[in-house]
């Protein structure tokens, strides 16, 4: 589905919802909001039944968001001293070590490849990322990813929208100059709805536990884009203690992370059971080229063939690696072979295999493509919900006002007795904004002037 089709569907949905319920919408510029009291009784009920668990999770969210600085903030606000403080430090160190070990390949080491950082500097960069996350939490990690993205001119953030940047084949381009990450429109709409409900309900529930009135819940549209919100009483929040504010600000993003983890555990268990029982199955759908040897005949293939699908060998359709190996096994040194890669034909001559002189090779590596035979949509939907919950939660914790991370930053610095805290918070917020805009605009500028 292309750009115009996606935007047209979004506009159509927004228009239909507005037309049938326009009496209850209020307009604020190009933002249309629909406030309601429905759901407030559910929030009050949850807040009354589980105040201790909710408070514990809200405090965990502060530490998750701001690391050791967040923990220090909690000690000061809750007046935790002595041996109890030592136990908290030890617990935090243990939990951080375990979590860091689990996410190391993706969130730390994975950025080295994403930012194309030279091997000589990779250890230093990983150390800085781990140290930043340990000391300043996810907010610090987010800031450092923006910084490294800017230093390497790679761009470290993209807008998540249901806009297809494909080349016409339906497959999104991996190296797009436009900073937009494409998500299929149906999955995008359901994922955003799920994220908004979890996020805003969490803000509201923590607010009620802290004794702050929630005036309304609601949804709306920013143009065609859906919005969701909870509306705690702003005057009461302004008068509230610092810890109360920080708990409320941090609840939404941390709840999105918790929701993603719970869904992931359920998803893995369900997939394992489904595959074992045969309810979920995969079918071979072709093979893709993963690499070519520059010193071999395949070295003449264009760089664009890497990641492309190999569909035919000598006019014979190929759907799996066994078929490819079988055909190539009939060839000898000096024989020619015609490869059809994304509708383009390439004729190559086999050369002697250095490791086995009795056979001929062209120096190409392939990987099996597989498609889910059943349950594909549900699998895709749950995968997107998990990924977007994590991605949007991390982005929302950037230390930048008016994001949750920026609102929390000022309270954490003030409550932790950091010197020149207001100026520090303002400076960090401005730097984050600059890095964020740089990451979004730079790919376009490089394409324009490159």
Q: Is the pLDDT of residue 202 over 90?
A: yes
Using the structure block, give the residue that is written with the tokens 């760089």: 303
Q: What is the pLDDT of residue 416?
A: 65
Helices (H), 119-184: 119-151
**Distance from C-alpha of 255 to C-alpha of 199, rounded to nearest angstrom:** 6
Which of 106-110, 324-328, 431-435 comes out lowest in average pLDDT? 106-110
Cα–Cα distance, 438 to 435 (Å, whole number): 5
Distance CA 168, CA 172 (A): 9
What spatial distance separates the first Cα and last Cα of the chain, rounded to whole Å? 29
Per-residue model confidence as pLDDT tens digits over 365-397: 888 877 666 667 788 888 889 989 998 899 999
pLDDT at 103 over 90: no
Residue ranges covered by each domain of the chain: 3-277+375-449, 283-371
Classify residue 339 as left (phi > 0), alpha (psi -120 to 50) or beta: beta
- Parallel, antiparallel or unpaired: strands 282-292 and 364-372: antiparallel
Pick the CATH number of 283-371 from 1.10.3210.10, 3.40.640.10, 2.60.40.60, 2.30.42.10: 2.30.42.10
- Residue 306 binned pLDDT confidence (cut-offs 50, 70, 90): confident
Burial class of 114 by CB neighbour count within 10 A (0 to 12, 13 to 18, 19+) = middle
Q: Report which of residues 180 and 346 the model is more confident about.
A: 346
Contact 204, 220 (CB under 8 A): no
131 has a pLDDT exceeding 50: yes
Q: Give the pLDDT confidence score for residue 171 in this predicted structure.
A: 41
The reported pLDDT for the residue numbered 397 is 93
The Cα–Cα gap between 158 and 395 comes to 10
pLDDT per residue over 20-68, tens digit each? 777 878 877 777 888 888 888 999 999 999 999 999 999 999 999 999 9
Where does the pLDDT of residue 446 fall: very low under 50, low under 70, confident under 90, or very high at 90 and above? low
Task: Find the mean pLDDT for residues 331-341.
Answer: 88
What is the percent of the chain where pLDDT is above 90? 25
When mean pLDDT is compared across 171-185, 225-239, 315-329, 433-447, the lowest value belongs to: 171-185
The structure's pTM equals: 0.76
Average of pLDDT values for 231-250? Answer: 91
Residues near 410 by Cβ (< 8 Å), separated by ≥ 6?
401, 421, 422, 425
Q: 371 has which bridge partners?
A: 283
> Could you count the other beta carbons within 10 Å of the beta carbon of residue 424?
15
pLDDT at 158 > cutoff 80: no
β-pair partners for 367: 288
What is the structure's pLDDT at 161? 63
d(CA 262, CA 332) in angstroms, rounded, equals 54
What pLDDT sits at residue 174?
44
175 pLDDT higher than 60: no
Which is nearest to 69 in space by CA: 147, 131, 148, 125?
131
What confidence tens digit (pLDDT) does each residue in 250-275 have? 999 999 999 999 999 998 888 887 77
Alpha-helix residue ranges (DSSP H) falling in 152-233: 185-209
Kindly write down the DSSP assignment for every residue of 7-67, as one continuous string: HHHHHHHHHHHHHHHGGGEEEETTEEEEEE-TTHHHHHHHHHH-HHHHHHHHHHHHHHHHH
Per-residue pLDDT, 166: 47
* DSSP 8-state symbol, 173: P
Tokens of 64: 């998750």
Residue 118 DSSP symbol? -
Cα 93 from Cα 134, distance rounded (Å):
8
What pLDDT sits at residue 262? 94
Residue 21's closest CA among 221, 214, 231, 186?
221
Confidence of residue 408 (pLDDT cuts 50, 70, 90): very high
Residue 172 DSSP code: B
The pLDDT of residue 342: 79
Burial group, residue 126, by CB count within 10 angstroms (0-12, 13-18, 19+) = middle
Range of lowest pLDDT (15-29, 66-80, 326-340): 15-29
Give the pLDDT band of residue 135 (cuts 50, 70, 90): very high
* Angle between helical axes of 119-151 and 404-415 (0-180°, round to 10): 110
Residue 159 pLDDT exceeds 70: no
SS3 content of the chain, % helix, strand, coil (to 5): 60, 20, 20
């Amino acid at each position: 589905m292309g750009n115009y089709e996606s935007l047209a569907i979004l506009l159509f949905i927004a228009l239909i919802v507005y037309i049938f319920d326009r009496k209850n919408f209020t307009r604020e510029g190009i933002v249309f909001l629909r406030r309601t009291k429905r759901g407030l009784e559910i929030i009050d009920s949850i807040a009354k039944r589980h105040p201790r668990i909710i408070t514990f999770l809200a405090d965990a969210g502060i530490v998750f968001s701001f690391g050791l600085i967040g923990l220090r903030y909690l000690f000061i606000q809750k007046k935790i001293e002595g041996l109890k403080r030592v136990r908290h430090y030890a617990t935090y160190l243990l939990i951080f070590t375990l979590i860091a070990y689990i996410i190391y390949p993706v969130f730390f080491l994975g950025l080295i490849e994403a930012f194309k950082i030279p091997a000589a500097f990779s250890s230093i960069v990983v150390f800085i990322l781990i140290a930043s996350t340990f000391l300043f939490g996810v907010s610090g990690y987010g800031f450092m990813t923006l910084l490294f993205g800017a230093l390497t001119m790679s761009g470290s953030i993209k807008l998540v929208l249901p806009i297809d940047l494909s080349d016409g084949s339906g497959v999104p381009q991996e190296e797009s100059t436009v900073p937009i990450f494409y998500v299929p429109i149906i999955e995008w709409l359901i994922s955003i709805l799920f994220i908004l409900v979890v996020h805003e309900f969490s803000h509201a529930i923590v607010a009620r536990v802290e004794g702050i009135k929630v005036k309304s819940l609601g949804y709306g549209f920013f143009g065609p884009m859906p919005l969701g919100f909870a509306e705690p009483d702003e005057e009461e929040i302004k008068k509230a203690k610092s810890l109360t504010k920080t708990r409320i600000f941090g609840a939404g993003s941390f709840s999105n992370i918790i929701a993603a983890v719970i869904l992931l555990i359920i998803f893995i268990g369900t997939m394992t059971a489904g595959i074992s029982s045969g309810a979920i199955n995969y079918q071979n759908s072709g093979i893709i080229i993963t690499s070519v040897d520059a010193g071999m005949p395949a070295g003449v293939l264009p760089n664009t063939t890497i990641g492309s699908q190999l569909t035919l060998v000598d006019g014979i359709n190929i759907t799996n690696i066994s078929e490819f190996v079988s055909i190539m096994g009939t060839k000898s040194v000096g024989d020619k072979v015609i490869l059809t890669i994304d509708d383009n034909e390439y004729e190559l001559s086999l050369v002697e295999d250095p490791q086995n002189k009795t056979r001929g090779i062209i120096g190409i590596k392939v990987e099996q493509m597989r498609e889910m035979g059943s349950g594909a949509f549900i699998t895709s939907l749950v995968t997107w919900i998990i990924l977007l919950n994590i991605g949007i939660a991390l982005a929302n914790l950037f230390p930048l006002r008016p994001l949750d991370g920026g609102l929390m930053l000022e309270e954490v610095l003030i409550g932790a007795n950091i010197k020149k805290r207001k100026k520090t918070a303002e400076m960090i917020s401005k730097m984050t904004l600059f890095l964020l805009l740089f990451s979004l605009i730079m790919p376009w500028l490089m394409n324009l002037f490159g």
